[in-house]
Amino acid sequence: MKQRAIALPTLLPLPGNVDIWYAALDQPRAVVAQMEESLAPDEWARLRRFHFAADARRYAVRRGLLRHLLGRYLNVGPSDVAFVYGVQNKPALAAPLAETDLHFNLSDSGEMAIYAFAVGLEIGVDIEAHKEYPDAEELAARFFSPDEAQWMGNQPKETISLAFLRCWIGKEAVVKALGDGLMAPLQEFTVAHWQSPPRLIWPGVSPAKWCIHQLNPPPGYSASLATPGLAISVSEKILEVPLQNF
C-alpha cells in the first residue's frame, strides 16, 4: 500500500473505511505553537508535567494534530473538540460530536505518530520504532500466548526482533480497540500471524469478529490496526506538516 503526502481531509470516512494518518512529531517551534493554541486546560496541565522540553513539544504536536484532524472531519475548530475518557483513559468524542459516531485511536513512538479514524467501528492502532530485542524470547514467554511464542521462535534468528515487534503491536492494537489498555490478559489471547490476514483467537470472543491489519508506516517503524470484521478498507496517508489554512 503506497503512501502519499496529501492535504487534510474534509469529510468523514465512509462506513467500512479506516483512514490512517502518519505525522512526524519533531516540528519547528512555529508548528508547536500552532498546536498548543488548540489544547484544552487539562492537556496544558499534562504538558507542564513533562520533565523534558522535547517530550512536551511532541505531546503538544501529537494532541494538536489530533484536534486539527478531528476538526476537519467534523467541520469544527480544533479547540471546539471535546473528549471523554473511558477505561484506561481511552479518549472518545464528547457530546454532541459523539453523535457522528466517529471513532479514533492514536499511538506514537519516537518522533512518529499514527492516527486512525472510522465511523461506527471500534478501532485500535499501535506503532513502534524498530530496535533490537536481545531478550525477545524471554519477553514472549512472559507476555505472549504459547502459540504466538512458538510462531516467533520459529522465525529466522535475524528477524526475531521484528517478529517480536509484530506480535507486540498486534496485541497492543487489539487491547486498545477494546479499551482495556495493557490490563488485558495478554497471554490469554492470540494474534494468529500465521493466518492471512492475522486473526484474533480468544476464548469467548468470536474468531470472525476481529482482524489485525499490518500497516505500512514510514521506514524504521512497524504498525498494526485492529478492526471488527474483515470487510474493511484501509487508506494510509502521510500528513503534511506544517498545516496550512488554519
Contact 177, 92 (CB under 8 A): no
Tens-digit pLDDT profile for residues 29-88: 999 999 999 999 999 999 999 999 999 999 999 999 999 999 999 999 999 999 998 877
Contact 118, 18 (CB under 8 A): yes
Domain boundaries, the chain: 5-121+231-239, 127-228
Instruction: Give residue for cell 508547536.
Output: 32
CATH assignment, 5-121+231-239: 3.90.470.20
pLDDT classification of 244: cutoffs 50, 70, 90: low
Instruction: Give residue for cell 526482533.
Output: 161
Residue 135 CA: distances (Å) to CA of 132, 166, 168: 9, 15, 14
Interval 118-135 mean pLDDT: 94
Predicted structure pTM score: 0.92
Superfamily for 127-228? 4'-phosphopantetheinyl transferase domain (3.90.470.20)
